[in-house]
Amino acid sequence: MNNEDLISKTADFIKQKMLGEGTGHDWWHVYRVWQVAKTISNNEPEADKLTVELGALLHDIADWKFADGDLEAGPKAARVWLESQKADEEVIVHIEDIIRDTSFKGAQVDLGLKTLEAKIVFDADKLDAIGAIGVARTFAYGGSKNRPIYEPDQKPVMHATFEEYKTNVSHTVNHFYEKLLLLKDLMQTDTGKQMAERRHKYMEDFLDEFYKEWNGEI
């Protein structure tokens, strides 16, 4: 199977698997990450395009948030799919690493990104977590977990371990401070850094307006 066919079949597979999911981790999230990853990789000529596209398409194939916190659920599911498509073992191992490394695991937890391709997929995924779409996805996910929108007395926590982060049940606004507002400075590529600036500013403006309305200000 050639690279284009493998990418196309993987996109169709993920679309069928994730279409209609309601927490913001649906096919359209994957689609946007895929498109942004391609944009970034166009500015990184040394990147392997096949690995970038497969990594983007498969990065949420079995997200730990929906697999009882199991970080290996995604890599295992990706391997099953890629082996069924006769992908090269080297590519499969690389995709497994990308899926492990793409997920945010806490404010004080090292990213551990090993390759340029992993950095590109990380940036593309995190860009979809900020800006207008990031705001929408954050409240969609919070609602799916029955989390309150905002509890003024419950302050954000900068989690030092993945265990602390994954067991966090704080209100949704805290998520901006515990993750989303940190992502601009975690971007790994020049293109990702550039794209993050406007999206970050949008979130800051959103929060300013949110607090004004919460406090009944004119």
Q: What is the pLDDT of residues 138-155, one digit of tens each?
A: 999 999 999 999 999 999
Q: How far apart are CA 138 and CA 115, in angstroms?
A: 28
- pLDDT value, residue 109: 57
- CATH code assigned at 131: 1.10.3210.50
Comparing CA positions, the residue from 12, 6, 19, 8 lying closest to residue 83 is 6
- Could you tell me what percent of the chain has a pLDDT over 70? 93
- The domain total for the chain is 1
Residue appearing with tokens 């000529």: 45
What is the rounded CA–CA span in Å between residue 23 and residue 174?
17
pLDDT at 128: 97
Phi, psi torsion values for 53, nearest 5 degrees: -70, -45
CA 19 to chain centre: 17
Domain span at residue 81 reads: 3-214
Contact predicate 92/83, CB 8 Å:
yes
Model pLDDT for residues 34-84, shown as the tens digit of each residue: 999 999 999 999 999 999 999 999 999 986 665 565 778 889 999 999 999
Q: Which two three-digit tokens encode residue 129? A: 């977590």
Q: What is the pTM of this model?
A: 0.90
The residue among 168, 167, 170, 180 whose CA lies nearest residue 207 is 180
Structure tokens at 93: 């191992």
Whether the pLDDT of residue 106 is over 70: the answer is no
Residue 92 pLDDT more than 90? yes
In this prediction, residue 64 carries a pLDDT of: 60
Residue 172: pLDDT over 70: yes
CA 95, CA 184: separation in Å to the nearest integer? 24
pLDDT of residue 7: 97
